[in-house]
Amino acid sequence: MGLVGTILLVVLLIVALGLIVGYNTLVTLRNRAKNAWAQIDVQLKRRHDLIPNLVEVAKKYIQHERETLEAVIKARSQAVSVNADDFQERVRAENFLTQTLRSLFAVVERYPNLKADAQMMKLHEELVSTENKIAFARQFYNDEVTLYNTKTELFPYNIVAGMFNFTKLPLFEAGEEDRKEVRVQF
């Protein structure tokens, strides 16, 4: 084996090693993003499960403004029935549900008896917590996805990504009201 042969072998080895490392890095990052998505999914699911109970309790007290209740029910059934593979559609439905829930909480504030209902206090706390968890988990998911997406564009990862079909993952964009960087309220 001549000098050329040795050099060729070394180059080949380096390329193979690079491919393996690049592949593993991308797989790890993609799994992390998927895990982050699982965190959101759990919370979205929990929200779907809590809402029927919330509506049931709220019904007993809310006489007027029943349209907010109906909007929540409608938004929930939309979010539940949306095709799970259509990411953008799902995000849109969930963001809409967030919005209707927020207006329902605003209505609850005007019914002191409902606010002081023991069951309502528990449900309210659980839903507020779930909303916060969705927001934080979304932040976390978006960070992970951004990390993964940028990696797939960088050399030499873009070659590996092209060869093994690592497609970009979509971001979970927040609804209009959540865009503000730092929440400032009194």
- 176 sits near another protein (criterion: CB under 8 A): no
Least separation in angstroms between residue 159's CB and another protein is: 30
Instruction: Return the CA Rg of the chain.
Output: 24
- 129 sits near another protein (criterion: CB under 8 A): yes
- 89 sits near another protein (criterion: CB under 8 A): no
The span of 39-47, 103-111, 155-163, 167-175 binding another protein (CB under 8 A) equals: 39-47
The span of 2-10, 48-56, 67-75, 166-174 binding another protein (CB under 8 A) equals: 48-56
- Contact status, residue 74 vs residue 97, Cβ threshold 8 Å: no
Q: Measured between alpha carbons, how far is 143 from 33 in angstroms, rounded to an integer?
A: 9
Among 1, 3, 4, 118, indicate the residue that binds another protein (CB under 8 A): 118
Residue position matching structure tokens 């992970």: 144
- 35 sits near another protein (criterion: CB under 8 A): yes
- 77 sits near another protein (criterion: CB under 8 A): no
The DSSP code sequence of 119-184 is HHHHHHHHHHHHHHHHHHHHHHHHHHHHHHHHHHHSTTHHHHHHHHT-PPPPP-PPPGGGG-SS--
- 46 sits near another protein (criterion: CB under 8 A): yes
Residue position matching structure tokens 């504030």: 109
110-119 contacts at long range (C-beta below 8 A, 24 or more positions apart): 111/61, 111/62, 113/61, 114/57, 114/58, 114/60, 114/61, 114/62, 117/57, 117/60, 117/61, 119/53, 119/57
Among 41, 90, 92, 111, indicate the residue that binds another protein (CB under 8 A): 41
Among 60, 102, 122, 168, indicate the residue that binds another protein (CB under 8 A): 122
Least separation in angstroms between residue 106's CB and another protein is: 16
When the beta carbons of 129 and 146 are compared against another protein, the nearer one is: 129
Least separation in angstroms between residue 133's CB and another protein is: 5
- 146 sits near another protein (criterion: CB under 8 A): no
